[in-house]
Amino acid sequence: MSELFTPLTVPFLLAMFLAINMGGSGTSPAFAAAYGANVIQRTLIPGLFGIMVLCGALIAGKEVSLTLGKGLLEQSFFTPLNTSVILLSISLSLLLANVIGVPQSTSQATVLAISGAATALSGLNTQKLFYEIIPTWVILPIVSFAIMYISSKWIFPLLKAKIFTENYSHLREHKILKILLLLASMYVAFSIGANNVANAAAPIASLAVNEMTKEAQTFLPITILSVLVVAPCFAIGSSLLGHKVTQKTGKEIVKVSPFQAMVLSLIVASLLLLASVTSGIPTSLVQLNGAAFIALSVNTNGIKNTLKNKTVKQFFFIWIIAPFFAYLLSYSLILLLK
């Protein structure tokens, strides 16, 4: 037991720490609208968020785990040192974005941290990265932008005006809308579990397989065990950090009504879940969310004013810089330490 515990301790602790941070940041896009509408108490959010994240990871997270655990870099390369470097690079990349105050994609940081290590180890699956993952990263935010722009420009105006008020007081008269808003929040949390839990669980699953057995067929059972360790940390992160996370996307780009927030959540969660189930592509919730908010801003404020928005400029800058920081850090540390 002690011989196995020692090499797995640091990577598992790093994975749990990463999951706590992801739980803190993921709470806002999932439950901000429902909390603002007084549909759910703050004390209930971490538990419900954690349950839905766990369900999403177990039910729909298999393909993403396979991509991150063995699709970009062969499973045999996930040694304690390499896995620790990858998880540390992801964490520092997110820290960089958090210091600046811009939400950053854990999925993109994870993919590029693994890619950096894989490049240094001469084991990168370039086919998977350049022909499947990166095109998905480009296409899905465009789809999110397009759907939200079309909805806000032509569909929303056809609905009753009071649905789009800037406060939540009217929801007292709309019990069905309150229920739908809560269900939308749970759906987002489920999609986060399907796509994002693998960021922390897949590398340590590959590591555990390598340390315990060389049989490839044991990867999925061990992944499930890793998910059971990592997913509850999302609830811990939600409890410790979630209430402090400012929804910068929604407050500093454009104001949204409760109904718009619900529709936005459904669009983003559906695209995230689609990428998880159909192709196992780790996808950015932050960018899908940001693209939808930018679409609302373009329709409300015009494209010129939107592009001049300081927050929008920061988003584009960090979305490019932070993942490549993870890549370069992982690549450099592997070369230095191997």
Strands in 199-287 per DSSP E = none
pLDDT at 187 over 90: yes
How far apart CA 321 and CA 136 sit, in angstroms, is 19
Give the best-scoring range by mean pLDDT among 96-100, 147-151, 154-158.
Answer: 147-151
**Residue 269 scores a pLDDT above 50:** yes
Range 35-42, long-range pairs (CB < 8 A, 24+ positions):
36/168, 36/258, 36/261, 37/168, 37/171, 37/178, 37/181, 37/258, 38/168, 38/171, 39/171, 39/178, 39/181, 39/182, 39/185, 40/182, 40/185, 42/243
To the question of pTM greater than 0.95 for the whole model, the response is no
337 near 116, Cβ under 8 Å?
no
d(CA 300, CA 335): 49
Going by pLDDT thresholds of 50, 70 and 90, the confidence category of residue 73 is very high
Q: For the residues 200-218, what does the mean pLDDT come to?
A: 79
The pLDDT score that the predictor gives to residue 252 is 47
**Rounded to whole angstroms, how far apart are CA atoms 20 and 18?**
5
- Inter-residue contact 202 to 13 (CB < 8 Å): no
Instruction: Please tell me the predicted confidence (pLDDT) of residue 246.
Output: 38
- Of these ranges, 134-148, 213-227, 236-250, the one predicted with the greatest mean pLDDT is 134-148
User: Taking the C-alpha atoms of 103, 107, 109 and 113 in order, what is their torsion angle to the nearest 10 degrees?
Assistant: 170
Q: What is the pLDDT of residues 75-96, one digit of tens each?
A: 889 999 999 999 999 988 877 7
Q: Is the pLDDT of residue 72 over 80?
A: yes
pLDDT of residue 241: 66
Helices 80-100/175-212 angle, 10° precision: 150
